[in-house]
Amino acid sequence: MTELEKIGKGAAELFMSGREHTEIPEDGYSRFSYPKLIKLMKFDVKRYRISGFGNMMTMRTDGPFGMQLLTMSFMPFEGNSVPYLLTDIMKMGKKRLIFVEYYDCTAEKPDQPLLEKICGKYAGVPDYAEKPAWYIGERTGYSLIKSLEADSSVRLSAIAADSIRAYRKAAFSAEKSESNLAGLMEFRERMINEGNPSSDILKKVFGGKGAADFFRDCVMPIS
């Protein structure tokens, strides 16, 4: 099992621990590749319905030249007053990147001291310089966009575990309100229509409509 496989499996177990949950049965979204014949990129998707929160998705991608990517999406469609969380972890050669992206779509924008504390803990880890994109400005200030050297004393698994542990505590202790759903839906449509980090490859795999369906059904579902 690779490091990112372990992180994905551990993250799901950590977030769902002690909570009633079900794994969504495998379907056409569970495993796919691009291009279909050569299979330069292989995707493995797992989805979970979690009582008291909403949905979680993990998508692991194996690409050319040893590239590995793990995407995790935490969709609070039951109205929990916490940000939507999207996490990307990448390994390629000596490069190690982790993006812990919080998008606050709630109506009241409550403070999130637990999430801010983790951001402060890793403030000394170098930030990754991203290319401009509309969604960067939508993230909260306590998001983590970090670049690690292969020999760094800080591990990808540690940042991921600390972030998910804090998010879990915040999510399951938060108040709920249906008023939070409007912001989630608006942001989801922006991710589909204005582009997201996975847009290009998903459109190549599924086509434009198929990529939008994948985002609504897997990445940010509401049921």
Q: Quick: pLDDT tens for 69-89.
A: 999 999 999 999 999 999 999
Question: What confidence tens digit (pLDDT) does each residue in 57-70 have?
Answer: 999 999 998 899 99
Q: 136: domain CATH number?
A: 3.40.1500.20
What pLDDT is recorded for position 42?
A: 94
Q: In the Cβ-directed half-sphere of 51, how many Cα atoms lie within 13 Å?
A: 6
CA distance 4 to 33: 18
Q: How many domains does the chain have?
A: 1
Question: What confidence tens digit (pLDDT) does each residue in 22-57 have?
Answer: 999 999 999 999 887 888 999 999 999 999 999 999
What pLDDT is recorded for position 21?
A: 97
- What are 102's strand-pairing partners? 85
Residue type, position 158, single letter: A
* Mean pLDDT, rounded, for 92-98: 91
Question: What confidence tens digit (pLDDT) does each residue in 161-218 have?
Answer: 999 999 999 999 999 999 999 999 999 999 999 999 888 889 989 999 999 999 999 9
Length of the chain: 223
Only one residue has tokens 């590749």, namely 33
What pLDDT is recorded for position 5?
A: 95
- pTM here is 0.96
What pLDDT is recorded for position 201?
A: 87
**CA dihedral sign of residues 165, 119, 188, 196:** negative
The enclosing H or E element of 49 equals strand 41-50
pLDDT interval class at 152 (50, 70, 90): confident
What pLDDT is recorded for position 158?
A: 96
What pLDDT is recorded for position 197?
A: 85
For 130, the token pair is: 């991203």
CA distance 150 to 153: 9
User: Residue 153 is part of which domain span?
Assistant: 3-219
On whether the CB atoms of residues 18 and 40 are closer than 8 A, the answer is no
Residue type, position 39, single letter: K
Give, in order, the Cα–Cα distances in Å from 7 to each of 10, 35, 98, 108.
Answer: 5, 26, 12, 32
What pLDDT is recorded for position 84?
A: 98
